[in-house]
Structure 1
Amino acid sequence: MASFDDLKFQEFEVAADLLSANPNASTVSASSNNPAPIQGDFKLDLSEEEAGQEENSELLKGEKQIGGFWTFEYYQSFFNVDTMQVLDRIRGSVMPLPRRNFIKHHIRGNPDLYGPFWICATLVFSMAISGNLSTFLSNLGQPQYQYRPQFHRVTIAAVAVFVYAWLVPLCVWGFLTWRKGTEPQISSYSFLETVCVYGYSLFIYVPTSVLWMIPLNWLQWLLIVVATAISGSLLVITFWPIVRDDTKLTAFATVTAIVLLHGLLAVGCKIYFFQTVAAPAPSSPTVPPLTQNHMTLLTSLTKGH
């Protein structure tokens, strides 16, 4: 039987010849217990991976920095919502619940302009189209009526809706900011949050304006009351916690002004776009008045007989 010493690795003459022919070559001896040290520093470049991980962490935390207002990324952040979020906010606007603040439960952390913009655009066309159809249906069956679509109503509706959706929130936000300036300890909403809640509050007027084309005056006014009550309660639930610490007169005056302005938009649109236009009455032939010559001729004819 071979002894343990016979199992040792040995250096053969062929390896020695190779080393002598190529001095730069190296061999690894299995009998060596200490491997040769690696010359130089061994570095692993993870700059790209680390940058990607940092970017993902910023996205998850919502802390990713955006550019200035002149960049596309700045405005892109205002439309960073998906379909489910928009539907959830619409559902919350048409079903306001007491003690469930719309901004805190649906908007806070990610206010958007996508939903408000398309809601206002849809409301503009629904009011203009339904107004023309309402005028047509109210005069249906009258031969004297000639249908003429009034395309200028689209422009007037766009001005009314978009001015309201931006100017009124600007005034409300300015008032809340002024209050916070006088009393820094009270809370307030940002301008984008105020615009967002006003935009979603207008959604209830979209189906209401479609039903307004039914030429029943009492039904149209009933729909105005219901729509104003729903959207107005959404605004009251949202803004009342901000102003309730003021005096009772100031708090109620602020909330009442918000609801009245919201209701005036619906009343003004109903009166202008859905007024009943009566067909012109048929013209009857008119008898020309008798002149002096006619009277003289009539007298002579009477005397001749």
Structure 2
Amino acid sequence: MDGSQSKISDSQFISFQDFSPIHNAGNNRQAQLNLSPPSHQTYGDLSNDPTGIGILEDLQGMPSSKPEDEQQRSFWTVEYYQKYFNVNTNDVVQRIRRSMIPHGTDNYLITHIRPNPDLYGPFWICVTLIFAIAINGNMANYFQTAHTSKYHWKYDFHVVTYAATAIFLYAWLLPIALWGALHWTISQRNTEEELIEAFTPPGLLELLCLYGYSLAIYIPVAFLWTIQITWLQWILAITSTILSGGVLLRSLLPVIEGKHKIIYIVVILGMHLLLATGFMLCFFYASSKVTPVAPSVVSTTVSTIAKSKVFNNITVAAKTVTVKS
């Protein structure tokens, strides 16, 4: 009897019953165990599943991971050059202002040029400087010759050609040469101290932008050069060279450290001073454009004219005597 009862209790103890997933018995606190496999939906084929179709449509509407401005553009399209002119007025004004006065607290190339180098500002600075030199150079020429009554002044249009050639050659060829020289000298470094680069070498676009903005200081100086005072013109040329050249040196000094440092400093400041001096001497220098006539030439001319008149008078007199006779 006891054995049958134990078998019944064991069978009841180990029996399994199916319970409903939702069982709200009043006072039944028994634990419920659902051994059925979890219900889940697989998405092996999203194209045939309604939910998968919605996911695919959402993914197709998402933008590409590669920005549009970084996508490959053709060299012959206008869109290819848009990245070089992506600046606003405030950026250009700040870069022009910073290019005229060197600051010891920050590096002009790193803080203002490197985040977004452009060619918009350098191009218009060069064009503005060309016309500023052409207009003010002719004004200086007029002031130098206005006091002479026998000199007929006229506008010299060749000044535009001369100024454009000098400015664009300086703003393009010098950065290209400097870029090649910097990469060559950096590759020649062989000591551990020189190989530690705290400053990434500037690229060609950054140097073009840096040198283009460095010419902005000569635009107001071109107006001041019309004042026909020699010592003032020289002071303006030297001061503008020191200010603008100081910005160039302050920007490039971290990358030109080494045995070639003195050479770079002399070349950068020397070429900047040569440009300013050339502008002043060729277009604004306080010297008369009228070539004075030597006194000997004047006396020779006067004597020749006098002799010619005397000879004409003698000839006329001789003819008169011959006719009377």
TM over 0.5: yes
Match of 1:8 in 2: none
Q: Tell me the alpha carbon deviations over residues 129-175 of structure 1, each in whole angstroms, 9 at most, x when there is no partner.
A: 11100010122232112111110110110000000000000111001
Match of 1:145 in 2: 151
Q: CA deviation at 1:66?
A: 4.1
Q: Could you tell me how far apart the structure 2 residues matched to 1:281 and 1:185 are?
A: 62
The within-5 A match list for 1:49-60 is 49-51=61-63, 54=65, 58=67
Q: Tell me the alpha carbon deviations over residues 151-205 of structure 1, each in whole angstroms, 9 at most, x when there is no partner.
A: 0110110000000000000111001111233347643110000111100011000
| Cα RMSD, aligned residues only | 2.5
The within-5 A match list for 1:81-92 is 81-92=87-98
Q: Could you tell me how far apart the structure 1 residues matched to 2:159 and 2:261 are?
A: 37
Which aligned runs of 4 or more in structure 1 are off by greater than 4 angstroms? Answer: 280-285
Q: Please tell me whether residue 115 in structure 1 is matched to residue 121 in structure 2.
A: yes
Indicate the larger mover: 64-73 or 278-287.
278-287
Q: Please tell me whether residue 41 in structure 1 is matched to residue 50 in structure 2.
A: yes
Q: Could you tell me how far apart the structure 1 residues matched to 2:70 and 2:248 are?
A: 31
Match of 2:5 in 1: none
Match of 1:29 in 2: none
Match of 1:258 in 2: 268
The within-5 A match list for 1:203-214 is 203-214=216-227
Q: Could you tell me how far apart the structure 2 residues matched to 1:149 and 1:252 are?
A: 43
What SS does the aligned partner of 1:51 have?
coil
Q: Please tell me whether residue 237 in structure 1 is matched to residue 243 in structure 2.
A: no
What SS does the aligned partner of 2:302 have?
coil
Match of 1:125 in 2: 131
Match of 2:27 in 1: none
Match of 1:277 in 2: 288
Q: Could you tell me how far apart the structure 1 residues matched to 2:80 and 2:288 are?
A: 48
Equivalent residue letter for 1:46:
D
Q: Could you tell me how far apart the structure 1 residues matched to 2:105 and 2:254 are?
A: 9
Equivalent residue letter for 1:118:
W
Q: Could you tell me how far apart the structure 1 residues matched to 2:96 and 2:289 are?
A: 38
Q: CA deviation at 1:83?
A: 0.7
Contact 2:100–2:214 (CA<8 Å) still a contact in 1? yes
Q: How many residues are paired up? A: 247
Q: Could you tell me how far apart the structure 1 residues matched to 2:265 and 2:215 are?
A: 17
Q: Please tell me whether residue 102 in structure 1 is matched to residue 108 in structure 2.
A: yes
Q: CA deviation at 1:252?
A: 1.1
Q: Could you tell me how far apart the structure 2 residues matched to 1:206 and 1:111 are?
A: 22
Q: Please tell me whether residue 286 in structure 1 is matched to residue 292 in structure 2.
A: no
Q: CA deviation at 1:219?
A: 1.2
The within-5 A match list for 1:217-236 is 217-236=230-249
Q: Which runs of 5+ in 2 are unaligned?
A: 1-47, 190-194, 315-325
Q: Could you tell me how far apart the structure 1 residues matched to 2:186 and 2:71 are?
A: 27
Q: CA deviation at 1:48?
A: 5.8
Task: Name the CA shift for 1:220/1:66 in 2 (closer, same or farther; >3 Å).
Answer: farther
Q: Which runs of 5+ in 1 are unaligned?
A: 1-38, 298-305
Contact 1:144–1:279 (CA<8 Å) still a contact in 2? no
Q: Could you tell me how far apart the structure 2 residues matched to 1:80 and 1:290 are?
A: 76
Equivalent residue letter for 1:126:
A
Q: Tell me the alpha carbon deviations over residues 47-100 of structure 1, each in whole angstroms, 9 at most, x when there is no partner.
A: 564127x56xx37xxx73342433322211100111111111111111220242
